Each structure stands twice: as C-alpha cells, then as structure tokens.
C-alpha cells in the first residue's frame, strides 16, 4: 500500500509507526489523511506481529487541526449529509491494540482531538495543545468537547474551548492530558520504549485492559466497574494468566503466548 499523506514503518518488527506527513499544511487533517491513517492502523491491528502502534507528526506540528481550506466552503447539507468527521475519524477508536500519540509542536483542534483518541500521549517539551475552533466560528467536531473535560476537568476544558487558548506541555502534564513530557530529541525513543514494553505484555490482557480503561473514560462508574469485573474474570480463561502467575511464583520470566 502506498500512502501520500502519511509515512508508515515498523520498529523491531513489533511496533507500527505512522507519521503524519503534510508538512506544508502543518499536518492539517483532510479526508485523504484520515482515510490513510485509518487504513494503516487497521492493517497494523490485524498483523499478529504488531503489539503496539505510535502516531506522530513533525517537530513543528503533530497536527494543526482539520484542514480549514478543505472545509471552509462546506454547507450544513454537506457536513450533515456526508456525516463529516464521523465517517473516517472514528476508525482509530475501533483499533484494539494500544495506540500511543507522540506529540511535538502544535496539536490543535482536530489534532488535539486525534491525540486524545489515542490511548495515551507522550509530549515533547515544545508541544502545544488547544481547541481553537471557536475562533473560526465552529466548535470542536471530533470529540473535543467530550474528551477534553474528561481528561482535564470542566473548568480548564471550558476555558480552552471558549477562548481557544493554547496549553503548553508542562501545563498539559499537570492537568493530566499527557502521561509524560520529554525532551524533543528523546520523544520517539521514549514512545518506542513504552511501546516495546507493552509488546512484552500478554496480548489478550493488553487488549482487555485497553477496553476496560476506555469503558471507564467513556461511560458511568457502576457500568464500568461491572465491565471491568467481567473482563477480569474472563482472563482466567487464558493460558497467559496461568503462565504469568506460575512464573511469578516460580521466580522466572513468563513466556506469554497470547493465548
């Protein structure tokens, strides 16, 4: 498969890396890019050799938002009729293996929303996050009004959505939007190290853990706890649970088989 708006590679045969690649537009997200990103992530998800994925951009921009040039002339009939955003922006949510966002530079509008759709973010010191849609007469359209308050709380999220103010990496880490901030030149090394450590874990438990954390993020507490309990129970049907616990008790390294 050849791509025009992203670059795709693997590391150590286990980690799938997608680099957003529309440098002249600061990786603004258009239909072609979102189609290609979805196709690449689904292919990695289906590849048994791959245990984790990373989505990243350039040093200057993870992504500066949805492509304003592409959507400036849209009418209500266009966006509602074509279900603009939902059609190809939600693909990433159906990926079952973990996806890490490695964010350097601007992650604005749809770029911030795309990073939030990933499972966690590692940010470079120059990262800047924001939902500036209000400044161009719209509101976030790819989950920003829902995921940002869940991630950083109502007050900060409301301020950012209403004023379009950007948040730097240090503030994003304090607020819990990103898991860690690292020097720019270490961003990919750190994201790769995290991805490789996930690849060492038993694959079924990794997918189950991702599903359960997302249930907490997206639903109510009692539903989430019940969902977690059932998934927890179900892992006792896997060989890797027996192997993991036997290995711990025998003080040896486990040999997981993803079964």
Task: Tell me the catalytic residues.
Answer: 66, 110, 113, 133
Q: What are phi and psi of 140, to 5 degrees?
A: -55, 140
In the complex, minimum distance from the CB of residue 79 to ligand CAA, in angstroms, rounded to a whole number: 11
Please state at what angle helix 144-152 crosses helix 110-117, rounded to 10 degrees.
60
Residues whose CB falls within 8 Å of the CB of residue 146, separated by 6 or more in sequence, listed in order: none
Q: Enumerate binding residues for ligand CAA (CB under 6 A).
A: 25-26, 28, 64-69, 85, 106, 108-110, 113, 132-133, 136, 140-142, 144
Residue with smaller CB distance to ligand CAA, 45 or 67: 67
Residue keyed to tokens 């853990």: 209
In the complex, minimum distance from the CB of residue 126 to ligand CAA, in angstroms, rounded to a whole number: 12
Cβ neighbourhood burial of 237 (10 Å; 0-12, 13-18, 19+): exposed
Residue with smaller CB distance to ligand CAA, 109 or 203: 109
Residue with smaller CB distance to ligand CAA, 144 or 202: 144
6 beta partners? 20
- Cβ(43)–Cβ(77) under 8 Å? no
Rounded to an integer, what distance in angstroms lies between the CA atom of residue 166 and that of residue 130?
Answer: 4
In the complex, minimum distance from the CB of residue 203 to ligand CAA, in angstroms, rounded to a whole number: 32
Q: State whether the Cα torsion 146-151-156-159 is positive or negative.
A: negative
- Cβ(21)–Cβ(6) under 8 Å? yes
Residue with smaller CB distance to ligand CAA, 49 or 136: 136
In the complex, minimum distance from the CB of residue 7 to ligand CAA, in angstroms, rounded to a whole number: 19
In the complex, minimum distance from the CB of residue 67 to ligand CAA, in angstroms, rounded to a whole number: 4
- Cβ(74)–Cβ(66) under 8 Å? no
Residue with smaller CB distance to ligand CAA, 57 or 132: 132
Helices (H), 129-202: 144-152, 154-163, 169-175, 187-199
């Amino acid at each position: 498969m050849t791509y025009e708006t992203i670059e795709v590679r693997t590391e150590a045969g286990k980690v799938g890396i997608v680099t957003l690649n529309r440098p002249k537009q600061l990786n603004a997200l258009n239909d072609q890019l979102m189609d290609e990103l979805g196709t690449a992530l689904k292919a990695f998800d289906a590849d048994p050799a791959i245990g984790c994925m990373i989505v990243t951009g350039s040093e200057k921009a993870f992504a500066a938002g949805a492509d304003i040039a592409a959507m400036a002339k849209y009418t209500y009939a266009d966006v509602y009729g074509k279900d603009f955003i939902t059609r190809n922006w939600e693909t990433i949510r159906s990926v079952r293996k973990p996806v890490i966002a490695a964010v350097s530079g601007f992650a604005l509008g749809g770029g911030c929303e795309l990073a939030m759709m990933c499972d966690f973010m590692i940010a470079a010191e120059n990262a800047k996050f924001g939902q500036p849609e209000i400044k161009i007469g719209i509101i976030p359209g790819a989950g920003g009004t829902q995921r940002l308050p869940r991630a950083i709380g109502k007050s900060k999220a409301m301020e950012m959505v209403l004023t379009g103010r950007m948040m730097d990496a240090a503030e994003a880490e304090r607020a819990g939007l990103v898991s860690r901030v690292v020097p720019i030149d270490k961003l990919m090394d750190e994201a790769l190290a995290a991805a490789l450590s996930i690849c060492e874990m038993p694959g079924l438990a990794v997918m189950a853990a991702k599903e359960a954390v997302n249930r907490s993020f997206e639903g109510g507490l009692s539903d989430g706890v019940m969902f977690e309990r059932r998934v927890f129970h179900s892992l006792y049907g896997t060989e890797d649970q027996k192997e993991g616990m036997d290995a711990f008790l025998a003080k040896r390294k486990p040999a997981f088989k993803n079964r």
